[in-house]
């Protein structure tokens, strides 16, 4: 019997088929009701017990070999696959992967740079009240930013509005924490602007806030210089121009030197070579006081930048609307950006 099993094993291994019919014939010859396995099983019943232990596994192996052979052969010659003319062995075309949105790429990179300097990430709500967006930031009651022209009010209630800047998160965090605090706050903001290549009713900002004892303007400048060099390259130059924001005193706007090498450089820098990238300043003592922080003990700096603006510089994008239209031809250009 051992010899018979060995012989059938060899036959199975050598079997070849030229069509589905032959595979079926083979299957019946071995596994059918009057097949070879049936005969072997009948003979197996008659052998003495001690031989059964050796022969049992051999029979199982033979049966398995037949089944494997049938399975492999029918995979190759499945008649429906053949009839459809489909080549089942052809490699697939691959699954198209999505891409990271350029605003997310830039946001993550900016946040990373500040996290490396010890800033923690904080976020706040997009629907806000007057206190967190304006009053808590030292905006006087008649400030034009409170006007309907700039701010979206919700349900005609002047105390429910969409935040116009991420500076509101500064106020939220000062309520929650005690100094020292070092925070980076990305988020979406809303302004009642007509949509054009340069303006949109919704965009993204990143806010920074650092409050501790003895924080100086020199700390602010060095922090922003470090950021600019990480983001735009190690030789980047910056300059600070005096400016005004209600919540900082003194205030400044920061420009990076973009150069005047090409006609485009001349146009976007208005012939100066310098480009504004953010607003900043020393936190106004009124703001510290309004938020329960003693301005005689603590000082701080804050800054805010627009992610769209910085992305447009980085990728030379000429129209803000591209960011919001989800056109694959635009988005696919950022494949591979992380």
Shortest Å distance, C-beta 157 to ligand DAH: 22
b/e burial code for range 262-273 (CB count within 10 A of at least 16 → b)? eeeeeeebeeeb
Contact 324/318 with Cβ under 8 angstroms? no
Both tokens of 25, joined, read 């014939």
Rg, the chain, Cα only = 36
Residue with smaller CB distance to ligand DAH, 207 or 308: 207
Q: Which of residues 193-232 bind ligand DAH (CB under 6 A)?
A: 207
Residue with smaller CB distance to ligand DAH, 102 or 300: 300
- For residue 141, the tally of other CB atoms under 10 A from its CB is 8
Q: With contacts defined by CB under 6 A, how many residues of the chain interact with ligand DAH? A: 11
Shortest Å distance, C-beta 279 to ligand DAH: 3
Shortest Å distance, C-beta 309 to ligand DAH: 11
Shortest Å distance, C-beta 161 to ligand DAH: 14
Q: Which of residues 267-306 bind ligand DAH (CB under 6 A)?
A: 279-281, 302-304
Shortest Å distance, C-beta 280 to ligand DAH: 5
* Distance separating the N- and C-terminal Cα atoms of the chain: 66
What gap in Å lies between CA 260 and CA 257, rounded to an integer?
9
Residue 171 engages ligand DAH in binding (rule: CB under 6 A): no
Count how many Cα atoms sit within 13 Å of the Cα of residue 37 in the half-sphere of its side chain: 21
Shortest Å distance, C-beta 273 to ligand DAH: 23
273: left (phi over 0), alpha (psi -120 to 50) or beta: left
What gap in Å lies between CA 294 and CA 296, rounded to an integer?
5
Binder among 165, 200, 309, 322 for ligand DAH (CB under 6 A): 165
Q: Which of residues 234-273 bind ligand DAH (CB under 6 A)?
A: 245, 248
Residue with smaller CB distance to ligand DAH, 179 or 304: 304
Shortest Å distance, C-beta 162 to ligand DAH: 13
- Burial of 330: CB neighbours in 10 Å, binned 0-12, 13-18, 19+: middle
Which residue is closest to ligand DAH by CB?
A: 304
Any idea what the Cα angle at residue 209 is, between residues 312 and 283, rounded to 5°? 110
- For residue 12, the tally of other CB atoms under 10 A from its CB is 20
Shortest Å distance, C-beta 277 to ligand DAH: 11
Contact 135/246 with Cβ under 8 angstroms? no
> Residue 277 phi/psi, 5° resolution?
-120, -20
Q: Which of residues 14-53 bind ligand DAH (CB under 6 A)?
A: none
Residue with smaller CB distance to ligand DAH, 105 or 282: 282
Binder among 138, 167, 269, 311 for ligand DAH (CB under 6 A): 167
**Interaction site with ligand DAH (CB under 6 A):** 165, 167, 207, 245, 248, 279-281, 302-304
């Amino acid at each position: 019997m051992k010899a018979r099993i060995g012989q059938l094993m060899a036959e199975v291994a050598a079997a070849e088929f030229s069509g589905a019919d032959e595979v079926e014939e083979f299957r019946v010859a071995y596994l059918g009701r009057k097949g070879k396995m049936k005969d072997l099983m009948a003979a197996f019943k008659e052998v003495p017990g001690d031989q059964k232990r050796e022969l049992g596994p051999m029979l199982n192996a033979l049966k398995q070999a037949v089944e494997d052979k049938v399975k492999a052969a029918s995979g190759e010659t499945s008649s429906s696959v053949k009839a459809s003319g489909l080549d089942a062995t052809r490699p697939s075309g691959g699954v198209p992967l999505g891409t990271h949105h350029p605003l997310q790429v830039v946001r993550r990179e900016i946040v990373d740079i500040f996290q490396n300097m010890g800033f923690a990430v904080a976020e706040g709500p997009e629907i806000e009240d007057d206190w967190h967006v304006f009053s808590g930031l030292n905006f006087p009651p008649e400030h034009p930013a409170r006007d309907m022209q700039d701010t979206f009010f919700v349900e005609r209630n002047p105390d429910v509005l969409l935040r116009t800047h991420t500076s509101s998160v500064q106020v939220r965090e000062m309520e929650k924490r005690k100094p020292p605090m070092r925070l980076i706050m990305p988020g979406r903001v809303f302004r009642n602007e007509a949509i054009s290549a340069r303006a949109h009713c919704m965009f993204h900002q990143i806010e920074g806030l650092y409050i501790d004892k003895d924080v100086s303007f020199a700390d602010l400048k060095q922090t922003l210089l470090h950021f600019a060099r990480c983001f735009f390259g190690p030789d980047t130059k910056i300059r600070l121009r005096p400016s005004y924001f209600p919540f900082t005193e003194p205030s400044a706007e920061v420009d990076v030197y973009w150069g005047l090498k090409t006609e485009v450089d001349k146009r976007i820098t208005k012939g100066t070579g310098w480009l504004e990238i953010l607003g900043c300043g020393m936190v106004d003592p009124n703001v510290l006081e309004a938020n329960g922080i003693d301005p005689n003990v603590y000082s701080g700096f804050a800054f805010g930048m627009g992610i769209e603006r910085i992305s447009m510089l980085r990728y030379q994008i000429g129209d803000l609307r591209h960011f919001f239209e989800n056109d694959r031809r635009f988005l696919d250009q950022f494949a591979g950006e992380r």
